[in-house]
Amino acid sequence: MITRSIEEIIKMAGGSQSTEDFQLFPNQMVHGVSIDSRTLTAGNLYIPIVRIDDGHKYVKQAFEKGAVASLWQKDHYPLPEGVPLIVVDNTLEALQRIAKTYRSQLNSKVIGITGSNGKTTVKDMVASLLSTTYKVQKTQGNLNGEYGLPLTLLEVEEDTDIVVLEMGMSNRGEIKVLSDIAKPDIGIITMIGVSHMSSLGSREAIAEAKLEILEGLNPAGTFIYNGDEPLLVNKLARTELPPTLSTLRFGQSADNEYYPLKAAQNASHLAFSINRHKEQFRLPLLGSHNISNVLAAIAAADLFHIHPDDIQSGLANVQLSAMRMERIPSSKGFLMINDAWNASPASMKAAIESIVSLDGFNKKVLVLGDMLELGDKEIEFHANIAQSIDPAQIHTVYTFGTVSQIITDILRESTLEGESKHFTSKDDLAAACLAILDANDLLLVKGSRGLKLEDICNILK
């Protein structure tokens, strides 16, 4: 983590001392930063962020827990006395400025990953592959935005070889800010979906927002992107890239630099081969959509000359963030697939297709929640999900939320062997699942983050 003197932090933050209180702490060192007084550890710099709650209310508490200094936004009054404060114009911007400066002082290579779906999975894969050979740090949890990415950078140890950063966004301009802070040497775009349609309006606008990663990308670095996505291909064809920037495309098409030759899936793993390696690889994950994700990860690994044996080792030991096609055996003997971290039309269809492709199960049951942030086409997108479900392959479909009811309404007219029913209570939904699921059955739980459908899995364990 960042270890700097308070004097250095003042310069990095573009701030100033508030009082003479700094004279009470000669040569004081800062060891890490925190924006949460509840989890702050002794030696941290506290950064009070103004969002839903105002972090300035907790500065006293931060010092009681061992903070050695705190930022203070100059439009807040009164200033606490007797503690070392660094006054700045805006605490969020100061956090980002400190992180950007620290990034410039690191010798680490940085990989930045964005995309509508798959960015967390690709981040975890890339980190696992590279960790076989290098010291790697990666984004933890969902620390991928305007607060999280700077905090992730400030946790990086100075002897780290490679930093793998996830970059999330909701609006235009956000990826540009993150890319400018991180200055990635390698940029990756996984795919373009329809999440954030409510704020951006079109897939074209989403693609443009994701391509902001190019703004801070090392002009002598490498850009890896989904070559099956016309929005990216066409936009890049009209973009003047630095002549020193290398590009690599991945996807299902043989027009890409990385593409699959063969792939097979069972309940425990994917087995696949790709054009750039003679070896067959195994990935202990469900979902054929993960082939595209792993192509991007292997492309990044090849840039660092990871040996194929180490690629396989990294794939075998990949530790995915929770709730991404996570296998959870129930005490009753059925298998749950918890994919409840988030949902979009593309990821919802991919998850359902994965369930359909798995052999050896009796009943296959879907619990589907609302897909959020889809704008004025949300009903159409949910209806499309219903129309894509094959009643010959799926036994029962339950939905939860609001707009997802359109899925079960449509499927009531189908020939599902089981039922199609909407719920407004998670307890009632879980009870319905328990009533029909037996040993050797398969349950998929999938919905947007706001619904927290993992609660269903926790009830059914």
Last residue of a domain, one of 316, 334, 351: 316
pLDDT of residue 289: 84
**Is residue 48 one of the residues assigned to a domain?**
yes
Rounded to whole angstroms, the Cα distance separating 373 from 451 reads: 13
- Statement to judge: residues 262 and 156 lie in one domain: yes
pLDDT tier at 104, thresholds 50, 70, 90: very high
Assign residue 11 the CATH number of its domain: 3.40.1390.10
Statement to judge: residues 25 and 129 lie in one domain: no
337, 134 in Cβ contact below 8 A? no
The answer to whether residue 214 sits within a structural domain is yes
Quick one: 83 and 157 in the same domain? no
**Same domain (yes/no): 141, 218:** yes
Residue 208 lies in a domain: yes
Q: How far apart are CA 362 and CA 220, in angstroms?
A: 53
Domain count, the chain: 3
For the cut 60, the answer to whether the pLDDT of residue 26 exceeds it is: no
pLDDT at 57: 94
- Average pLDDT in the 257-271 region? 90
Indicate whether 139 and 178 sit together in one domain. Answer: yes
Residue 164 sits in a domain whose CATH number is: 3.40.1190.10
**Same domain for 335 and 311:** no
Domain assignment present for residue 100? The answer is no
Does the structure show a pLDDT above 90 at 325? Answer: no
Is residue 87 in a domain?
yes
Within a domain: 387: yes
Which one of 316, 342, 361 terminates a domain?
Answer: 316
Distances (CA, A) of 99 to 66, 84, 155, 357, 381: 21, 20, 10, 45, 39
CATH of the domain at 330: 3.90.190.20
Residues 330 and 439 in one domain: yes
Terminal alpha carbon distance of the chain: 38
- Same domain? For 112 and 260 the reply is yes
**Is residue 303 domain-shared with residue 340, that is, in the same domain?**
no
Q: Is residue 321 in a domain? A: no
Same domain, 61 and 141: no
> What pLDDT, in 10s, does the model give residues 326-335?
889 999 999 9
Instruction: Assess whether 49 and 134 both reside in one domain.
Output: no
Q: How confident is the model at residue 269 (pLDDT cuts 50, 70, 90)?
A: confident
Compute the mean pLDDT over every residue in the chain, rounded to the nearest whole number: 93
Same domain, 345 and 392: yes
Res 22 pLDDT > 60: no
Q: What is the pLDDT of residues 154-167, one digit of tens each?
A: 999 999 999 999 99
Domain residues for 53? 3-91
